[in-house]
Amino acid sequence: MSNVSSHNWGLEQIVADLRASREELHRTRHPRGIRELPSRDAVINIVGGLRAALFPTHYGAPDLTDESVDYYVGHTLESTLRLLSEQIRRALRFLPEHAETTDAELSARAFNVARDFGKQLPAIRALLVSDIQAAYIGDPAAQHITEILLCYPGVWAMTHHRLAHALHRLGVPLLARFINEIAHSATGIDIHPGAQIGPSFFIDHGTGVVIGETAIIGERVRLYQAVTLGAKSFAADEDGTLVKGNARHPIVEDDVVIYAGATILGRVTIGRGSVIGGNVWLTHSVPPGSSVSQGKIREGERTRNDEGRR
């Protein structure tokens, strides 16, 4: 039987090498040395609490009644917004404008942001209900609203996005990104919190959908799996650093359908009522009412091409 105490892991040297990596060779710490970071686990709990407050009979307690639901929602929001305020405080510290803000001032700012966010929850719920209804109308396999709320990854992703977008607009981009990346991990749907998405938005199936930061999507738009609304190119400054915030993603107008695998790149406009077919690669604007599909080689062109290769 081996004597565990006789093993020598060489920990002293490993610890020293890791310190050298952290402090000298491969630093990852924030330039201002910020150590108090937002907590992923806390954000997951916050989103869970917000979802329960928005849809208490689906995501909240199973035994709620008409008499108890308001108390449950109020109690859930009180604890959730308190947790949110703390995470906002931690996230705000990363913004350059708060480099010198005192802890007391930052806490007060975080409370005000959380309170303003809470006031937006009824409007966020209205948007989410429009998304749920769009899923029910747009998917013949959908049996009822409960199935959509409990099972559809597109609705899960949009719940996170609607919450994250509100925080993004309130000036807390780090926490907003946290929320959307949690949904990305769970669903494979990657939506930047800065993307502007109108009501009645439906992502069917969803896996592999990518929507960039400056994308603007109108009302009653439907996307299928593996659709990308991305950037065509990235402007850089003199030292090669990418310029942040430029409008570089598509504008999709109302009542557009984009089928599976389509890739639309750059600040182009997809006109109202257009249909973009599967696997289309598109880098230019199309007018309203367009129908875009993959190009097909006519038989005469194929024959001439074959002869040219002989």
Q: Across all residues in the chain, what is the average pLDDT? A: 90
Contacting residues for 193 by C-beta, under 8 A, at least 6 apart: 161, 164, 165, 167, 168, 173, 176, 177, 179, 180, 213
Kindly tell me the sign of the dihedral angle through the C-alpha atoms of 9, 15, 21, 27: positive
| Two domains, one topology: 22-189 and 195-310 | no
How would residue 240 be classed by pLDDT, with cut points 50, 70 and 90? low
CATH code at 22-189: 1.10.3130.10
For 146-197, how does the pLDDT look when each residue is reduced to its tens digit (9 = 90+)? 999 999 999 999 999 999 999 999 999 999 999 999 999 999 999 999 999 9
How would residue 7 be classed by pLDDT, with cut points 50, 70 and 90? confident
For the chain, the structural domain boundaries read: 22-189, 195-310
Q: What pLDDT score does 22 carry?
A: 86
State the pTM of this model.
0.86
DSSP E strands in the chain: the ranges are: 190-191, 196-197, 202-203, 210-211, 216-217, 222-223, 228-230, 251-252, 257-258, 263-265, 269-270, 275-276, 281-282, 291-292
For 193-212, how does the pLDDT look when each residue is reduced to its tens digit (9 = 90+)? 999 999 999 999 999 999 99
Burial string for 104-136 (b: 16+ CB within 10 Å, else e) reads eebbebbbebbeebbebbeebbebbbbbbebbb
CA distance 106 to 91: 10
How would residue 112 be classed by pLDDT, with cut points 50, 70 and 90? very high
For 263-310, how does the pLDDT look when each residue is reduced to its tens digit (9 = 90+)? 999 999 999 999 999 999 999 999 999 999 987 544 444 444 444 444
CA distance 295 to 300: 15
298: exposed, middle or buried (Cβ count in 10 Å: 0-12, 13-18, 19+): exposed
Fold of 195-310: UDP N-Acetylglucosamine Acyltransferase; domain 1 (2.160.10)
